[in-house]
Every structure is written in structure tokens, then in C-alpha cells.
A and B are shown apart, each in its own frame.
Chain A
Amino acid sequence: MQLVTVAGPPSSGKTSVLLRLAAVLGRQGKRLGVVKFDCLTGRDKDVFDAAGIPCAAGQSGALCPDHFFVCNAADAHAWGLSRGLDVLAVESAGLCNRCAPHIEGALAVCVVDNLSGIDTPAKIGPMLRLADVVAVTKGDVVSQAEREVFAFRVRRANPRATVLFVSGLTGQGAEALAHVVAGAPATPTLDGASLRFTMPAAVCSYCLGQRKIGADHQMGNVRKMDFPREPA
């Protein structure tokens, strides 16, 4: 089974891209399944169910979504094996842009959309910088030049990546993505595999449920900002 991590900002089109990918893989006789990590409730499972794509969904709720993801990654992999999938896509909700779910030895895909602004490729950090493939969506509503400038900024942020235009609307570009997925390495197990990027350091009083604001209530791993001072 091949494992593919899929990350991207909210509403960038991750789910649509996966639906299109599943259709192309299906025609080639390969079965794609999805484990969807969300923060709060999501309706994506219904969409995958309706398309007949095996899907398991988990919500991190009160926990850090990235820690929740990594604690369940090996279980997700085991679920994929048990379902006899050929390709397992692990989709995680991109939230603060600080983290990336990408794993050494598994194909890493980042989905970004053309409408998200010209500085987004530089801003969203490791989920794009450490990806093997960047799928750029919503190209059908912006000008050709903007598509090109956006793709150029993506390549500058991550010159290693293969940049593909994928339309969630028409499926254009899904064949190219399927081609890259087909060439990805198999992931026999996630036991002992490494994340490409560390998870955020936590453990301050607020991790443990503190709600009060002020110096007296801050404990543990606390960092202070430098505010500019008025010249004397």
C-alpha cells in the first residue's frame, strides 16, 4: 500500500482533489481510501461515502490537531491495510500553518488554491516547503498570468516539488497526479517512520486547561514577544 499525506489550507480543495484522484485510480483498477483528520466536525466523510470511497474520520476536538494526527497515523495506516487499499490518503486540516503532516518515505502532497493570495506559498510553511507534489487548484477562475505567477512563487518556495494544476471542478490534471502517486514508494509500515517536521513544543499552563490571562497564570514553556519601545 502507498501512503500519501495531503495537507493544505482550509477550503483549498483537498477533498475535491482526492475525489478526482480516486476516480482516475479507480479506472486503473486501484482502490483509494481516505483517513480524514479534522479539528471540529466535518462533512467530508459524507462526500467520500457518497462517492463509494472508504473513509474514516477523526476529530481532534480539544487536542492539538497535529499531535492528534501523529498519535493516530500508525493506526490509520493499519486501517488502510485492513481494508485492502492500494493507496491510503491521509488528509489533515491545515490550521496554523506551523506544522506539516508529511512523513519521510511517504509521498507528500500539498494543495493550495490560486485565490489564496500571492504570498501564500511563502507563508504556509513546511506543509508546502517539504511537499513532493504541490497541487494548485481553482486555476479556472483566475487569469493565466496569475496562475503562472502563483506557480512560480510555489516553485521558489519549494524548487524540489512537482507542481501540478488540478481542477476539482473538471478533474483536469488528476491524471498527472495519479501518475505521480503510482510512482510513489510503498509504505509497508509507519512504525519507526519519522515526521519531516517536528510538532509544536507545548506544555504550558494553557495546555492543561488554564483560561485566566496574566503573568500569574502562565507556567511552563512560555515565550514572550519583544514589543518595540518608545525612544527615550
Chain B
Amino acid sequence: MTSQYPTFAAIWAALPPARDFFAAQGLPMPAPEAAPADYFAALTPDALAEVGTDAGTLAARFADFLAALPRLGAAAPRLASLTIRGGTGKDGRPERLDLTLVPGDVVALVGPTGSGKSRFLADVEWLADADTPTGRRVLLDGKTADAAGRLAASGRLVAQLSQNMHFVMDLTVREFLIAHAESRLLADVPAAAEAVEGLANELAGEPFGPDTALTALSGGQSRALMIADVARLCASPIVLVDEIENAGIDRRKAIALLTGSGKIVLMATHDPLLALTAGRRLVFAAGAVAAVIATSPEEKTSLAALAQADAKLAALRDSLRRGGSLCFSQEK
């Protein structure tokens, strides 16, 4: 692998992250005009002792490192449809399910704790092929993924947004968005970061600036930033939303942002307003999907009334924050 590059300058030009190999191990940085074979042969016994190996093994490891670097750019799988075929519940009864979802679809997952919602998600994430406890099959674009495809998709297929998540990095909003955009190897990193920041501010009740520390954001601001980031900077085609708390976020707008970005949205929620933004509801019981309920026209009508009530509540919260009065009537 290294033999195709006469010098380190040629390697740096083709694969810039190759420098990490030396920096991470505390090895002296090779001179650009040096040939790889000469560099490894010239390492001192002390330097080799520090990296715990001999020159030949180190050179071979560098070759493996270079060969694997193109995998850094591997993107999340794109999909036209996701199909989930039923298995069996905890009681051994067959699960009657044949669900196909396409980008832009929103499905609500409902049911008490322990009814099988997490297992359902794990089946989707691992592209279960009748080889998990539920016996479900998950198909991408109507086809079973092969072993290599399942491993490659692992961790890249489903993005998660949960109310238990927090930002833990010691970075400002702008630094963080740039780090995320860079990890996606995007062409215009600053523009991508700025776009997410703008969207997050549209969703959040209270605006925040790019220099705010991530860890100083309020609950609502954090959630708004997470949602905008998943919609725009995250490559995963499926998003699992585990409740969006009512922290001044426009929840319907948040879901619209995700579906507008071509995501399939699976939403574990017991919030009527959120559940009604979904086209279908999967009702879980005893580890299986017990029913698939399509949102009815009557329910869609209720959504308008619910949204009005929600807007009233939001206005009250806003009034409370600004030190205003808290008078409420159902009529107006």
C-alpha cells in the first residue's frame, strides 16, 4: 500500500488524516520528502520501544491504516423504503405486522414501559433477519441486507433524539456544529453550521447565540439544537424520537423539519399532539405490535383544536416568563 506513494508528501496529498498515525503514537512527524520505507528503517530503538513494536510491524500497521482511511468517508445507507414484518410476541403469539415506511413518514409508537418499543427499535437498527428474540424481519428497499451491509449500517441507520439526552461536550454552539460538520466531511463546513444554528433558533422559545456554551443551553434550547442538527447534519435516514418535552419548542414544526429533510420518523410518545402528527400509531403489548391505527379524519380535526389549546398554553408560559398575568379561559 505504501509502495504506491514515493514520499510522505504524496501520502499527505492523497490522505491528509494519515498524519494522525504518527501524532497519536508520539512518533516523530516524517519529513515530506522522505520515502516511507526509509522513515521506518531509520527509527531509533528508543522510538520503537515507545510504540511497543518493531519497524517491520509498524510499517505494516501504517499500510493497514492507509488502506482503511477511505472508510472514514463511508456515509449512512440511503433508503427508499423500510419494511418490518412481524415475528412473535413474548406470549408466543404471532405478530400480524407488515409495515412499509418511506421517507417523510411519521409513525408513533405507543404502549406502556416493557411492552416492546425498545426491542422494536433494536430490531430496526440491527436489520433483524428472524435472528432476534422477536423473530422480526426488517428489509431495506424490500431486500434483506447481507452480513456486511448490516455491520456497515450498524449505528448509522437510526439517529436518536431522546429527552434523556444532554450535551456533555465542553464547546460553544458554533465549535460543536463545526466539529459535527467536519466529521461528515462536508464541503462548506461554516455554512452548514450556520444553517443549523438558524433553524435551532426558529424552534427554540428563547434565542441563543453561536458563542453560548453547549452546556449552558436551557432544556428547550438544547432540544431545539439537537432536532435541527439531526435534521440537517445527521446522515441517518431514520430518526427515533423519544418524546419531545413541552419546553417552549414548537413540536409540530420540529417533526415537520425532520420529515422535510427526508427522514422516516419513529416517535415513542404519549403526547396527543405529537401522536396526531403521525400518520399511523403502532400499539405495543406483550413485546409485539398489537394494532396499527391509522390517524382518522376525526382525529385530524381534533388536531386543530388541540393545537389551539397548545398555543394558548404556550402563550401562558410566555406571559409567565415575562412577568405577565395568568388568566385563562377555554373560549378565546
User: Which residue from A141, A148, A149, A155 sits with its C-beta under 8 Å from B165?
Assistant: A141
Q: Which residues of B contact A183 (CB under 8 A)?
A: 147
B24 touching A122 by the CB < 8 A rule?
A: yes
User: Which residue from B68, B118, B133, B166 sits with its C-beta under 8 Å from A142?
Assistant: B166
Whole-angstrom distance from the CB of A23 to the nearest CB of chain B? 9
Q: Does A172 contact B (CB under 8 A)?
A: yes
Whole-angstrom distance from the CB of A98 to the nearest CB of chain B? 9
Looking at B121, B162, B165, B236, the one whose CB has the most chain A CB atoms below 10 A away is B165
Q: Does A186 contact B (CB under 8 A)?
A: no
B180 touching A145 by the CB < 8 A rule?
A: yes
A145 touching B155 by the CB < 8 A rule?
A: no
A77 to B169, CA, bound (A): 40
Whole-angstrom distance from the CB of A196 to the nearest CB of chain B? 8
A144 touching B229 by the CB < 8 A rule?
A: yes
A147 to B17, CA, bound (A): 20
| Interface 9-mer from B124-132, B297-305, B312-320 | B124-132
A201 to B49, CA, bound (A): 8
A175 touching B159 by the CB < 8 A rule?
A: no
Q: Which B residues from 56 to 71 make CB contacts under 8 A with A?
A: 64-65, 68-69, 71
Interface size counted on chain B using CB atoms at 8 A = 49
Given contacts A152-B183, A157-B24, contact A143 B72 (CB under 8 A): no
Q: Does B25 contact A (CB under 8 A)?
A: yes
Given contacts A140-B164, A175-B132, A176-B150, contact A146 B155 (CB under 8 A): no
Q: Mark B127-148, 1 if CB is under 8 A from A, else 0.
A: 0100111000000000000010
| Interface 9-mer from A4-12, A34-42, A161-169, A205-213 | A161-169
Contact sample, A vs B, 27 pairs, CB 8 Å cutoff? A122-B20, A126-B52, A141-B164, A142-B165, A143-B222, A144-B159, A144-B161, A144-B230, A145-B176, A145-B234, A146-B167, A146-B168, A149-B179, A159-B69, A159-B72, A164-B154, A164-B155, A165-B155, A170-B118, A172-B118, A172-B121, A173-B122, A173-B126, A173-B154, A175-B122, A176-B126, A197-B53
B72 touching A152 by the CB < 8 A rule?
A: yes
Q: Which residues of A contact B167 (CB under 8 A)?
A: 142-143, 146
Residues of A within 8 A of B (CB): 27, 114-115, 118, 122, 125-126, 129, 136, 139-149, 151-153, 155-157, 159-160, 162-165, 170-173, 175-176, 179-180, 183, 197-198, 201
A143 to B151, CA, bound (A): 22
A141 to B169, CA, bound (A): 12
Q: Does B233 contact A (CB under 8 A)?
A: yes
Q: Which residues of B contact A179 (CB under 8 A)?
A: 147, 150-151
User: Which residue from A159, A163, A170, A198 sits with its C-beta under 8 Å from B122?
Assistant: A170
A139 to B230, CA, bound (A): 15
Q: Which residues of B contact A157 (CB under 8 A)?
A: 20, 24
A143 to B164, CA, bound (A): 9
Q: Does B289 contact A (CB under 8 A)?
A: no
B53 touching A155 by the CB < 8 A rule?
A: no
A141 to B166, CA, bound (A): 6
Q: Which residues of B contact A160 (CB under 8 A)?
A: 64-65, 68
A183 to B151, CA, bound (A): 12
A227 to B233, CA, bound (A): 44
Looking at B24, B52, B65, B183, the one whose CB has the most chain A CB atoms below 10 A away is B52
Q: Does B226 contact A (CB under 8 A)?
A: yes
Closest residue on chain B to residue A121 by CB atoms? B24
